[in-house]
Structure formats: structure tokens, C-alpha cells
Amino acid sequence: MNTGPAATNSPAATPAPTSANSAVATTATAIVNIASLVTNDPSLGDGTPLGLIQDAAVVIDGDRVVWVGESSKAPATDNRVDAAGRAVIPGFVDSHSHLVFAGDRTAEFHARMSGQPYKAGGIRTTVAATRAATDAELSANVAHYMAEALRQGTTTFETKSGYGLTVEDEARALRIAAEHTDEVTYLGAHIVSPDYADDPAAYVDLVTGPMLDACAPHARWIDVFCEKGAFDGDQARAILTAGQAKGLAARIHANQLSYGPGVQLAVELGAASADHCTHLTDADVDALASGDTVATLLPGAEFSTRAQWPDARRLVDAGVTVALSTDCNPGSSFTSSVPFCVALAVRDMRMTPDEALWSATAGGAAALRRTDIGRVAVGARADLVLLDAPSHVHLAYRPGVPLVAQVWRTGVRVA
Ligand SMILES: [Zn+2]
């Protein structure tokens, strides 16, 4: 996916049933001599969640993985790629970004790095620039940052509206996002529109009424920024339940800048993901551990705002499913690099290198309720990254180094 309207793999696509022992077409491509293959299939390899196989091979045919195993046992294929002792991992699944925007917030970042705290209101700057941009400019911007992410190994990208905040501008943002990805999220409730500054309740009525009607056909998800200065718990509940009634699935920006009701609301409403999770009570952690809501951590935001890191160790130890994503947006986290987030998670959030890699691939897939991506196993979509390193550990061990050598998305080598 992420290739435009012609992409055929919908989120609901079911992997073709293929056995590891079935005959492999000679039109397939075998990637052999992989020193270390992360499958995220615990039934394979070393039995850990990463399902690590040493001296491995992968065979892809069409858009699917059709064979995984030891390199010496790889079936004959017409096409062969020699990994030459390097590592292969699943393509990254970036389940949280805000790419439909225009304008620039370099000055705000510069000021913040000179000592001013981050407040939610900076979004208004981007709203003004986005409203003024043409469709072509917005679409080119999305394409630019998705290509940038693809070169860094991201093969699935979620992205949101939220910089239009009118019926027309939100629907336009989602229409444009849907040209580039199937994972599109309606975030009319990013902040209260400046046009409704004196009447937030009327803005919630708009978001849950005419704006939702115009946006729902273009989106899979609905999201809300539940935070002081944005939307409170009651407003967030009204917004998410209205979206669910229109067939959208819920996700939420929760507990980023302060403690609040967002995480508990996410679990209560069965949201796929509670994103940020920086300020959590023990009850919040317990709620996440007992439900099936993924905690999506976005360390690029804490990095770029010099804020307190989310406590990934606490979440993982409590049994919470954790995803790692970029939150790529022009204000609070202008990175499209999942490897950078992996390095931050290991260095500053006390995840192990294995946990961070899992969260950036399988965790992201879980946050999007996808089973066809985030793993390298028979039947999964052929989204693979060949690293210029002998193992995935180098993503954190060699931070900032461009280690992505080759990328396959839906079986096609794209970078
Ligand atoms: Zn966000």
C-alpha cells in the first residue's frame, strides 16, 4: 500500500494460504545468506517474540512471503538476492503521523529549544498554512515525507487530518491522505478550531455532525487530542462514540502533556491504540494491561519538546502491548525516522533492542489491528528491510547511521 489509489491490499486483505513446504514458483525471489532474520513469529527460530532465525532465507512471490527458513534449504527460484551476511527485518509500521500539512515551524522549534515550553496551540500556525495551500501542494508534501520514510524502512504509514478544522478542509485532507495510504484517520478534534474559540461546544457539534458526515467516507479511524487546551474527557467520549457509530474505529492522543482521562477512555471504548501515554497512573497502566488497547509511544515528541520520556519499561513489564511510532508532524516531532525512535526507546525509555524492534514492526501492526504486516512469515505481506548491519541491534547501537540498504514493499523493491 501507500502507492496510491491503485494499491490492491486493503487492511482486510487475507494472506493467501501457503504452506512452507508447498512448491515455490520459479518467478519468485529468494533473499539468501541473511545473517539474522527477524520474523516476529515466535513459532520460528529461537522461540523469542522476535522469532529470530540465523543463516536464513526468505522467498517472496507476488506481494507475499511464501517461504522462510534456513538459507541452505531455500528452494530454487529464478531471482536471487544475496544478503551477504546482513540482517533482514519486517518493514516498519508507523501507526501515527500527521503528514497532511503545509508551512514550516522552524521558528517555533528554535524558540522552544531556547527555553520556551511546548503548548498545544502551536497547531494553529499549521492550520493557517494548510488552509491556504492547494490540493497539489498538500499531496506533494505527503508524497515527499512518505518517500522519505520509505527510504528509512517504513512500509506502512498511518496519517491524519487535523490541520484544516473546517468541514471542507478536513474532508480535503482525508481525501488527499487516502491517495497515499489506506490507514487514514479523521482528526477534526486536533484542537478547537480558532473559528470557534469562544464556543468549543459548538465545535464539538460540528466535529460529531457535518464534519464527521463529510469525513467518514475517506477514513478508517477517528482520533481526538484529549488534553488540557484541546478536548476534555467528556468531549473526547462524544467525538469517538460518534465516529464509531459511523463505522470508524477509535484511536486517541492520550496523556501526553499531563495526567488525564484519555487512556481509561481508550480502553473503555475499545480503541485500537492510546497514543503518547507519557503521564500514566498505576490505574492507567492496569487498564492498558487488562484491555486490548495498544500503548503507542512517540519518543520523537519528547525529544523535540525536551519533555519527560514515556516509561516504556513500566508498560512492557506490566504486559501492555507497546508500539513505537514517529508522530511525524511539523510542530512537535518532525522526524520520519523509525530507526531514530528505536534508538531513543532503547537509550532513554529502557526498552531492550529486541522489544524496540518488535514494537516498531509488530507493535505498530497491532496498533492498526493488522495481521498481514509487521512480520516475515508465510502468508504475510512481503514488506522487508535489508539492513547494512549483521543484526537489528545495530539500529540502536549505531544511532543516526543510515543502515537501511534495501526495502521491499508488497514484494516490490522500492528503495
Ligand atoms: Zn500525534
pLDDT in tens, 248-282: 999 999 999 999 999 999 999 999 999 999 999 99
Q: What is the pLDDT of residue 358?
A: 98
Measured N-to-C along each axis, helices 167-178 and 123-132 cross at an angle, to the nearest 10 degrees, of 80
Radius of gyration of the chain from its Cα atoms, rounded to whole angstroms: 21
pLDDT surpasses 60 at 62: yes
Q: What is the pLDDT of residue 19?
A: 40
29-91+375-413 to CATH, choices 3.40.50.300, 2.40.160.100, 2.60.120.380, 2.30.40.10: 2.30.40.10
User: In Å, how far are 95, 96, 100, 300, 365 from 327, measured between CA atoms?
Assistant: 8, 5, 13, 7, 15
User: How do 29-37 and 53-61 pair as beta strands?
Assistant: antiparallel
Cβ neighbours for 64, distance < 8 A, ≥ 6 positions apart: 15, 16, 18, 379, 380, 381, 382, 411
415 confidence band (pLDDT: 50, 70, 90): confident
CA dihedral (216, 217, 218, 219) positive or negative: positive
pLDDT surpasses 80 at 2: no
298 C-alpha to ligand 1 centroid (Å): 8
CA dihedral (232, 238, 244, 248) positive or negative: negative
pLDDT surpasses 50 at 384: yes
226 bridge partner residues: 231, 254
Note whether 162 and 122 are within 8 A (CB). no
8 confidence band (pLDDT: 50, 70, 90): very low
96 is in an annotated binding site: yes
Considering only residues 121 and 133, tell me which one the structure prediction assigns the higher pLDDT: 133
Ion ligand 1 — residues with CB under 5 Å? 327
Which fold, 93-367?
A: TIM Barrel (3.20.20)
Q: What is the pLDDT of residue 278?
A: 97
282 C-alpha to ligand 1 centroid (Å): 23
Q: What is the pLDDT of residue 20?
A: 44
384 C-alpha to ligand 1 centroid (Å): 26
141 is in an annotated binding site: no
Place of cell 519518543: 299
359 confidence band (pLDDT: 50, 70, 90): very high
Place of cell 498511518: 158
Q: What is the residue-averaged pLDDT of the chain?
A: 93
97 is in an annotated binding site: no
Q: What is the pLDDT of residue 87?
A: 98
Note whether 262 and 233 are within 8 A (CB). yes
pLDDT surpasses 90 at 360: yes
123 confidence band (pLDDT: 50, 70, 90): confident
24 confidence band (pLDDT: 50, 70, 90): low
Domain ranges across the chain:
29-91+375-413, 93-367
User: In Å, how far are 67, 91, 111, 152, 257 from 381, measured between CA atoms?
Assistant: 12, 10, 43, 18, 36
Q: What is the pLDDT of residue 116?
A: 76
Note whether 371 and 156 are within 8 A (CB). no
Among 14-18, 81-85, 328-332, the least confident range? 14-18
Measured N-to-C along each axis, helices 135-151 and 167-178 cross at an angle, to the nearest 10 degrees, of 40
133 bridge partner residues: none
Q: How many CB atoms lie within 10 A of CB 151?
A: 15
pLDDT surpasses 90 at 4: no
332 is in an annotated binding site: yes
Note whether 4 and 181 are within 8 A (CB). no
Q: What percentage of residues in the chain have a pLDDT greater than 70?
A: 93
214 C-alpha to ligand 1 centroid (Å): 22
403 C-alpha to ligand 1 centroid (Å): 26
pLDDT surpasses 60 at 97: yes
Cβ neighbours for 174, distance < 8 A, ≥ 6 positions apart: 100, 161, 184, 186, 215, 218, 219
Q: How many CB atoms lie within 10 A of CB 73?
A: 9
Q: Residue 58: helix, strand or coil by DSSP?
A: strand
225 C-alpha to ligand 1 centroid (Å): 8
333 C-alpha to ligand 1 centroid (Å): 9
413 is in an annotated binding site: no
